[in-house]
Amino acid sequence: MTTDRLGNPLSCTAAAVPGLEAAIAKLHAYQADPIADIDAVIAAHPDCVMAHAFRAAAIATALDAAFAAELQASLGKAVALAPRGNAREQGHIAAARALADGDIEGAAEGWGRVAIAWPRDLLAVQLAQVCDFFLGYSHMLRDRVARVLPHWQPGMPGYGFLLGMQAFGLEESGDYARAEAAGRQAVVLNPQDGWGAHAVAHVLEMTGRAEEGVGYLRATSAGWAPGSMFAYHNWWHLALFHLDRGEMTEVLRLFDENVSGGGFGQALELVDGAALLWRLHAMGAEVGDRWSSVARGWRQRTADGIYAFNDVHAMAAFVATGDTAAQAEQLATLERAAAQGRGTNAMMAREVGLPAARGLIAFGQGDHAGAIAHLLPLRGKANRFGGSHAQRDLLSWTLVEAALRAGDGPMAEALVAERLAQKPASPVNLAWARRAGTAAKAAA
């Protein structure tokens, strides 16, 4: 029986394995371009089931309708070959199919079961964790990795990537010290590990260590940035650190040169573009015509209804640019998804996507009390539409500005107190605290 270096069974010939492993390792590091690499493997070994399974999974995790035709073509080949594959490969294909069908939870459990049966299947662990991320399952981000760790030892191929995954799960679960140690070790083991560096960035973000965040990302970027498919997101994190420090020129430079560096060709990039500009917009900062490319990308996706988390970021672009027609289309998509959508997204749209979108629209209309009414109940449940704590902070950020603009001093003070409890030295939080105090005095 053919296996990979970690003993995972493969139904293909041994000659296909090195190329397959190389493509998978690129996805572990988010280095470009695993699809090009796997296409070369498929060209040489057209019946390699795992290669087709991998290709479909890699495309499905983009959660972007722009790749729908490509995904269906790739998935079709994988499904056709599945009867010739082994149980592990069939598990991968079933999970990719679930994700393509909008069943994010089913995909997470599908890859999760593969990882339970073959705990050294690092791809299954990664894909399950990516789905946990889409689902906002903080503890599962941690526990997916904990489940398989007893089967791993330092020095095994890919061990550093497992540490990076563990680091992100620990961070999202609030275990910052262990997360930071694991993430830093992952990057030491493999400086190209953009996911490991990302986990450290999240720790520094959540603990209000913006200066260290700037230093860490800049010091490690020579490793993770060149050739990365994910660098734009780590640059987004760097921009957040500079934003916290009030360094607007650097924030805008990072947007121009790095966050937008990929041309906003995929939804995940558009999320970061919108998330950064919206924070600036909500604060009343001038961003010039930077919204144009972000809003253009989102306008091509208004009817997709794949992922409410993305739809809310699209709405931010449409509100900031005053595009009321696109706002209406995006709201209609969310309402349709909530009422009759497929899979997990129906719940996400209903529970979080719709109130968040309505909150942003109200904010854009100057109805700050209305924005608070929509957004405040989301403080406890926004995780239900996925993403990270740092990404969902967009909602809290908007709430603070809405409370200040509404002249609601007690509300603003309460919301700022939440933020200061986590980041007492944050210049942005301290500036908000001063404004909230002024508003509270004025109202007294």
For the chain, what's the residue count?
A: 444
| Least distance to Fe ion, CB of residue 334, Å | 23
| Alpha-carbon span 319 to 432, nearest angstrom | 23
Kindly state the smallest distance separating residue 397's Cβ from Fe ion, in Å. Answer: 15
Beta bridge partners of 3: 9
Q: Nearest-CB residue to Fe ion? A: 388
Residue 153 DSSP SS3: coil
Number of residues binding to Fe ion, judged by CB under 5 A: 1
- The residues near 219 (Cβ < 8 Å, ≥ 6 apart) are none
3-state secondary structure of 184: helix
Phi and psi, residue 228, nearest 5°: -85, 145
Structure tokens at 404: 């200040």
Amino acid identity at 24: I
Q: Could you tell me the smallest distance in angstroms from the CB atom of residue 220 to Fe ion?
A: 15
Q: Which is nearer to Fe ion, 38 or 204 (CB)?
A: 204
CB of 201 to Fe ion, least distance (A): 7
DSSP label at residue 115:
H
Q: How far is the CB of 213 from Fe ion (least distance, A)?
A: 12
Nearer to Fe ion, 236 or 432 (CB): 236
For residue 401, the minimal CB distance to Fe ion (Å) is: 22
What is the DSSP annotation of 162-183?
A: HHHHHHHHHHHTT-HHHHHHHH
Nearer of residues 192 and 388 to Fe ion, judged by Cβ: 388
Segment 372 to 401, residues that bind Fe ion, using CB under 5 A: 388
| x-or-dash string of contact with Fe ion, 66-95, rule CB under 5 A | ------------------------------
Whether 248 and 267 have beta carbons less than 8 Å apart is answered as no
Tally of CA atoms within 13 A in the half-sphere of 181 that contains its CB: 3
Looking at beta carbons only, is 233 or 358 nearer to Fe ion? 233
Nearer to Fe ion, 233 or 435 (CB): 233
Looking at the Cβ atoms of 333 and 388, the one nearer to Fe ion is 388
Enumerate binding residues for Fe ion (CB under 5 A): 388
